[in-house]
A and B are shown apart, each in its own frame.
Chain A
């Protein structure tokens, strides 16, 4: 069993290989790249939330000195293609192409309508301002309530509700999908319940908030060969989306991933790359486009604003017997909110015999949502975990004991279908209960909250190669951009398999020409799935080394074994003593040539992750200002390959969740213009807002991975919303159901009480 393996390198905390470049400013991110003859692109965006584009006159822009190309939606072919991601994921290239440059209708404020390439950014911007766009304004639909109202403006003619639409659903609709999960007899369940709590919750649209704006450089060669340098979570997704949208072979496009300055799911879609390619094709020169922060807020990301109605029934003894929920998620301008995932996650932590959860994916005149760390789960979990807190209070039982009593364990059936393998929910809850934080006294005006979270994690496809050098050092190459320290984790895996010191293993993220296809960096999958490819590639190297040793000794390969970084003969003699990896590497030219280990994996499943967070909050009851004063994140991490970076994921996810709970939100005018598209008014947590974030790593091995690794990156953002709100309830006696808990909202509630 994986948990019993004794590791030499895995579990240590070496300095990351890419660290030096990052602390000295040498690392190259999306905006740091240039090419000879570079032009600068600028994207003109719609000032209206919903408007038909009647005409676009680019003649004045075209005529400006320094302008080399102007394009509109007419230059981005309309397509019906899709790019698939695993068995269930798909990117609709028609929608993606229309989002790049609107073809007929601007569907949100910030929707791109034209783009200019010029010899400087200033010229490009000035030229863009001379483009005359005639709009016919349409009434915007900004919320799920507006979108569902009878007679609502319809964003997309011909939109059909996919999934399981209700029989009486209207045919002209803004509902892109309805899905349902059901088990048992929910009416019977509620009839058997002693306590039933039902409430409605809302969470605001929030942005992933990566500090690096989207940026790319593209060069279209006259021979049709295309080069793209870009900051992305998936160079192969960029390649395939560009190819599909522009109607060229994927092999004509080489995508070089830059260092990526944060993504959290928001750097999966293409926003700029096909536009830069189209400009370059027209201008015959390379084109760079860099988003401003304003663009990032208005036109990339964010995640869904949601409305969730949740009802949970419990027996007097604390057994949960029934739950029902309705989830309404804003998709933004095109279908594709994570409502379905929200439904699958909402009850995933608890054994509930009777439930029904329905989820709606609803288009509105806001930017098309992108993935954001455990997409869908935080909002639905906020509802569940808030109600469980309320029930625990009413039953006067410890909220952790209450959760423990109902916690899912190995062999239990997840609400979304499969039976859980080994999972660590019980262990994380017990760890929370025994943590000093749980028993620590609270100060005046302080309250404590606890909440659980679940995320599936993903597997998907990955490639890796490990190449041995003549001096016995090694390089490991993968196709997954490293956002949070995955390169050093992969190097640790090579060290572990080949017993090479970590300093002698160099990890690299390659361009699309230099490594086999790899799905994106997302779904907490890189350390797990790409890691499996790395381990297999390293084992391939080891197998080849054993064959070389057998050749040197002129014995069968079954007479050689690997031990402690050496090939060891099973039948030693005077001229057959063990050979070190380095000795074998030195002899490669004479024993068969270079050794390259390679592997690809398609990991259909992953090991689900559970986390528990504890939050202490202090509220100034005169101003409504609150402050997190103590925070502890506990998570089943499977096996921590580099524990510092696992802690980093937990701390960063907690901070993002705290920001979502306390301050972050998209603010719109009634006509759909974003009012806070900057870091001053869109308030993300800063260092003085937060305490240290304590972490406890629980290691319940994932049997699908040779070391027991399970994904760690996403579940950290799931518990904080409810942990903070539950703490607020404890501090104020008020059950807040609408996020964020910003000072005005808290003060208003305090004054009302």
Chain B
């Protein structure tokens, strides 16, 4: 099959690549663009480990075709920190020891960012339901939820200062 030529904005940089028409965004990110921070846990959209933001909307990249991002804006885990400054969600996950094996962590970071971008003051229940699409088998979610709530609070207080 002829490969498709895709032009996209990826982590705020213009990027071009060739892909198969049937190739998922997840595979293109990992295998063609070397962005292995996005993880495959199931490839069926059930675990959230491959979460990315497509035009700021949270999607599982295993259920998006690479060809679909032509002309679109994609943000992956590699684009969340600003240079040496971690996103507050990343910082709070570290401070709360909210990761053990860490394989689900990139997905949680992306997913939590999408939550806080559109709801800066979520209740615990809202955070739990928003993050219900991200599986973690190590932590029981306790410290992750605390970290996300803490990140939301610190982002709100940064905003008001």
Contacts and interface: CB of A to CB of B under 8 A. Distances in A.
A211 B104 contact: yes
A25 B142 contact: no
Chain B binding surface, main DSSP class: loop
Given A687-B134, A688-B128, A19 B36 contact: no
Given A22-B105, A687-B128, 18 more contacts: A25-B35, A31-B30, A31-B39, A261-B39, A261-B102, A484-B101, A485-B100, A642-B97, A644-B96, A648-B140, A651-B143, A679-B42, A679-B44, A680-B44, A686-B131, A686-B141, A688-B129, A692-B142
Interface string A192-222: 0000000000000000111111000000000
Contact of A678 (B40, B46, B106): B46
B101 A24 contact: no
Contact of A24 (B44, B80, B125, B142): B80
**A interface, by DSSP: helix, strand, loop or mixed?**
loop
A659 B120 CA distance: 31
A264 interface: yes
A655 interface: yes
B49 interface: yes
A692 B138 contact: no
Contact of B37 (A26, A292, A690): A26
Nearest to A292: B43
B140 to A, nearest CB: 3
30 contacts: A13-B97, A15-B94, A15-B95, A19-B94, A19-B99, A22-B99, A23-B105, A25-B106, A31-B39, A210-B103, A211-B103, A213-B40, A259-B101, A261-B39, A262-B103, A262-B138, A264-B137, A292-B43, A484-B138, A642-B97, A644-B96, A647-B97, A648-B97, A655-B139, A655-B140, A678-B46, A686-B133, A687-B132, A687-B145, A690-B140
Interface string A21-40: 01111111101100000000
Interface in A468-488: 483-485
Interface of A: 13, 15-16, 18-20, 22-29, 31-32, 208-213, 259-264, 290, 292-293, 483-485, 642, 644-645, 647-649, 651-656, 678-680, 684-690, 692-693
Contact of B43 (A22, A209, A293, A648): A293
A210 B137 contact: yes
Most chain A Cβ neighbours within 10 Å, of B36, B90, B102, B104? B102
Contacts of B127: 687
Interface of B: 30, 35-44, 46-47, 49, 76-78, 80-81, 86, 90, 93-97, 99-106, 109, 125, 127-129, 131-146
A290 B125 CA distance: 36
Contact of B41 (A26, A211, A645, A689): A211
Contacts of B143: 644, 647-648, 651
Interface centre among A260, A688, A689 (most CB of B within 10 A): A688
Nearest to A488: B97
A15 B102 CA distance: 14
B42 A652 contact: no
A141 B43 CA distance: 31
A370 to B, nearest CB: 15
Nearest to A656: B137
Given A209-B137, A211-B103, A652-B138, A293 B41 contact: yes
A260 B76 CA distance: 21
Contact of B100 (A26, A483, A656): A483
B47 to A, nearest CB: 5
Nearest to A694: B142
Most chain B beta-carbon neighbours within 10 Å: one of A210, A259, A261, A293: A261
Contacts of A264: 137
A27 B42 CA distance: 19
In this complex, which of B39, B77, B125 has the most chain A Cβ atoms within 10 angstroms of its Cβ? Answer: B39
B140 A652 contact: yes
A213 B49 CA distance: 12
A48 B109 CA distance: 41
Nearest to A28: B36
Shortest beta-carbon contacts, A-B, top 8: A25-B37, A261-B103, A22-B102, A655-B140, A644-B97, A25-B77, A651-B140, A679-B46
Contacts of B109: 23
Contacts of A24: 37, 77-78, 80-81, 86, 90, 106
B36 A688 contact: no
B140 A212 contact: no
Nearest to A646: B97
A19 B43 CA distance: 25
B65 to A, nearest CB: 15
Nearest to A207: B137
A648 B139 contact: yes
A257 to B, nearest CB: 13
B94 A16 contact: yes
B23 to A, nearest CB: 9
A29 B77 contact: no
A485 B139 CA distance: 12
A25 B135 contact: no
B141 A262 contact: no
Nearest to B133: A686
B101 A261 contact: yes
A264 B139 CA distance: 12
A656 B90 CA distance: 25
Contact of B141 (A32, A293, A687): A687
A649 B76 CA distance: 29
A484 B100 contact: yes
Contacts of A686: 131-135, 141
Given A688-B129, A692-B142, A31 B40 contact: yes
